[in-house]
């Protein structure tokens, strides 16, 4: 398998690495960079738990090749909080009981943060659309939607 040099940033930090041509961004993050906050389940685009932001847009990192990240910026759950402080969205997840086993939570948080950045006051339908590709087997989604809506309302104050 051929190897390729890539240069990209993760959570603001620059990396220059050699990757296999068929390596996914998900495996690069988890196995080479040790960033296991991004979860690995189906590895075929079904569950969404591997969601990260690529140049600010949510992507399923199991469907993105590492070489496609060349020259781009990735944000993972490890880069969401700043200075050890959780974000208003993360706080809302806690307050609404939107976290149970937590396996899906990093994906919902990064997708929710991306949504609130581009659309600070989404409708419930827009929230549902933004998180539509991510599966949670525990909470039933109501609490997750409520948490994102609540964080958007708190952002108005």
For residue 19, give Cα distances in angstroms to 27, 51, 60, 107, 134: 10, 20, 18, 24, 27
Residue of 50, 65, 66, 80 interacting with ligand FES (CB under 6 A): 50
| C-alpha to C-alpha distances, 105 to 64, 110, 113, nearest whole angstrom | 20, 9, 12
Binding flags for ligand FES, 97-126, as an x/- string (CB under 6 A):
--xxxxxx----------------------
Q: Of the listed pieces 75-83, 84-92, 135-143, 148-156, which binds ligand FES according to CB under 6 A?
A: 135-143
Q: Is residue 68 part of the contact set for ligand FES (CB under 6 A)?
A: no
139 binds ligand FES (CB under 6 A): yes
Angle at 41 between CA 34 and CA 86, to 5 degrees: 55
Return the number of the residue (144 or 151) whose C-beta is nearest ligand FES.
144
**Cβ pair 47, 135 in contact under 8 A:** yes
Q: What is the DSSP string of 25-42?
A: HHHIIIIIS--TTS--S-
49 binds ligand FES (CB under 6 A): yes
> Which is nearer to ligand FES, 47 or 119 (by Cβ)?
47
Least distance between ligand FES and beta carbon 39 (Å): 7
The backbone torsions φ and ψ at residue 107, rounded to the nearest 5 degrees and listed phi first, read -65, -45
Q: Interface with ligand FES by CB under 6 A: which residues?
A: 40-43, 45-50, 60, 62, 99-104, 136-139
């Amino acid at each position: 398998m051929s190897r390729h040099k890539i240069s990209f940033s993760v959570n603001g930090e620059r990396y220059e690495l050699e990757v296999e041509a068929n390596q996914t961004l998900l495996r690069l993050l988890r196995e080479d960079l040790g960033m296991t906050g991004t979860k690995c389940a189906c590895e075929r685009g079904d569950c969404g738990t591997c969601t990260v932001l690529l140049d600010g847009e949510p992507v399923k990192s199991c469907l993105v090749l590492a070489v496609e990240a060349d020259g781009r910026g990735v944000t993972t759950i490890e880069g969401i909080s700043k200075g050890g402080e959780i974000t208003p969205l993360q706080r809302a997840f806690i307050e609404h009981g939107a976290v149970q086993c937590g396996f899906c939570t990093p994906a919902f948080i990064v997708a929710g943060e991306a949504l609130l950045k581009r659309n600070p006051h989404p409708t419930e339908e827009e929230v549902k659309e933004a998180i539509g590709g991510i599966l949670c087997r525990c909470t039933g989604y109501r609490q997750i939607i409520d948490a994102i809506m609540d964080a958007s309302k708190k952002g108005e104050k």
